[in-house]
Amino acid sequence: MAKRIGLLTAGSDCAGMNAAIRGIGKAVSAEKNLELIGFRDGFNGLVEDRTMDLGGGVLSGILTLGGTILGISRNIPQAMPAANGTADLTQNAVDTYKRRKLDALVCIGGKETIKAGLRLSQAGLNVVVLPKAADNDIPGTDKAIGFDTAREIATQAIDRLHSTANATHRIMIVELAGVSAGWLTLGAGLAAGADVILIPEFPYDFGLISAAIGGRQKAGRNFSLVAVAENARSQELVEFMERAARKKAGQQSGSDSAVNAEMERIGKGYSGETMLLARRLEDETSLQSRITILGALVRGGTPTASDRLLATQLAEWGVLMAATGQFGRMAVRMDGAMSSVPLEDVVDKHKLVTADHGWIRGAYQVGTCLGVEISGL
C-alpha cells in the first residue's frame, strides 16, 4: 500500500487542475497513513527535486482557481532541454523518487504526460495519471479535465461574435484548439449555432463552405459564423500532403506507418490555413472576413461545475488507485462510472470525432455545414 505519494501537473495548463490537486489533498488527508509531496513545474520539479509543501491550508480556496498552484511545464524526463537539443533525464526522476522515498507518483496531464508516465513505469516507478486536455483528445475517458470549461468559454466567445457579425455583415471566423481532434470546435460551434464547423477529422471541400454561405446570402442573411479547429485542412492540401508523403516514403499505394509518419512531419510545416480560408471566402462571397484566435484563452478562468466535479472524482479515484497498487494506469470516467486503463493502451493515441457521433448527426439536422458530405446522415 502506498504511503508517500508524489504529485505533479504537466503539459499545458487548463481549468480544473487546482480542483484535482485539492481533491487529491483532501483524499490523502482523509487517510491517516498517507502523505502527499508536491513537485513544482511539472516533470522539471521531479528531475530537479524541487518540491512544494501542500499542507498547512495551502489547498484552501483553490477549488475555483484556474491554472495550477504547482506550476507546469511541457518538458518530459526522456526529452529534457539540453545544450545540444534534448537529454534523457529519466534516471534523475527515478533518483528523486527514491530519495523522497515515494510509494507512488500521481501525474495530472495530457498526452505527453501519459508518454512520460509510461516511461517512468517501465523504469520501475509506481505511476498513476489523471487525464486533462482542453481539446478532449485523450482516449479511454468520456471527458478530460479542462474540456468542459474550454467549451463553455469558446461557446461564449462565438455567442459574442454573433452580434458583431450581424451588425457588420461579415464572416466571423473563430479558430480553436484542436491539433488532432475536433471535440472543442464541434462542441462549441454546435452549442453557439455556428453556420460552418471545420474539424481535423474531416478535410473540408471549400466549394461546400462557399455554397453554404452563398445560400445564406440569398436568404438575406449577409453574415456567417465559422468555427474552425487550428489543424483543420482542405481536401486539396491533404491530398497534396499524401502525394508528397508517398513520394518521400517511396510508397506507391496503401497507407502504412511510414507514409503516415511522413504526412505528420510534412503537416508540421503548414500553418496559416485559417488565414487562407478567410481570404478565399472573401474572394468568393464578397463579404469581409475577420479571424479571432482564442488560443490559450480557453484554458484560463474559473472551472465550470462539471470540470470541478470531474477533477474531484478523478482525484479521489487516483488516490484510491495509488493506495491499492493500481499502477501504470490512467484514471478515467466512462459512461459515468469510474475506472482505469493501462497507460500502454492510450499512449500516442487520439480520440477522434467519428462520422456517426451524435454531435455530427445533430449538426447536419440543424443545417450546419461541416465542409464535407458524410454518407448515411
pLDDT on residue 376 = 66
Share of the chain above pLDDT 90, in %: 83
pLDDT confidence of residue 145: 98
CATH topology of domain 4-145+303-345: Rossmann fold (3.40.50)
The pLDDT tens digits for 140-199 are: 999 999 999 999 999 999 999 999 999 999 999 999 998 889 999 999 999 999 999 999
Dihedral of CA 185/189/194/197: which sign? Answer: positive
For 254-309, write each residue's pLDDT tens digit.
556 777 777 777 777 676 789 999 999 999 999 999 999 999 999 999 999 999 99
Output helix, strand, coil percentages for the chain, rounded to the nearest 5: 45, 20, 40
Q: pTM for this one? A: 0.93
Query: 135 catalytic, yes or no?
Result: yes
Q: What percent of the chain has pLDDT over 70?
A: 97
Q: CB-based burial of residue 123 (10 Å sphere; 0-12 exposed, 13-18 middle, 19+ buried)?
A: middle
3-class secondary structure, 202: coil
Looking at residue 253, what is its pLDDT?
53
Backbone φ, ψ for residue 353 (5° rounding): -75, 130
Mean pLDDT over 89-94 rounds to 98
Q: Which of 228, 263, 221 is nearest to 246 (CA)?
A: 263
Instruction: Please report, for the chain, the start and end positions of each structural domain, with discontinuous segments joined by +.
Output: 4-145+303-345, 151-233+270-298+354-365
- Among residues 13, 41, 103, 135, the one annotated as catalytic is 135
pLDDT tens, position by position, 112-122: 999 999 999 99
pLDDT-wise least confident of 82-86, 106-110, 193-197, 318-322:
82-86
Pick the CATH number of 151-233+270-298+354-365 from 3.40.50.10260, 3.40.50.12280, 3.40.50.460, 3.40.50.12780: 3.40.50.460
- ∠ Cα 232 234 236 (to 5°): 150
Q: 85-87 and 80-82: which strand pairing?
A: antiparallel
- Using left for φ > 0, alpha for ψ between -120 and 50, and beta otherwise, residue 371 falls in left
Looking at every residue in the chain, the average pLDDT score rounds to 93
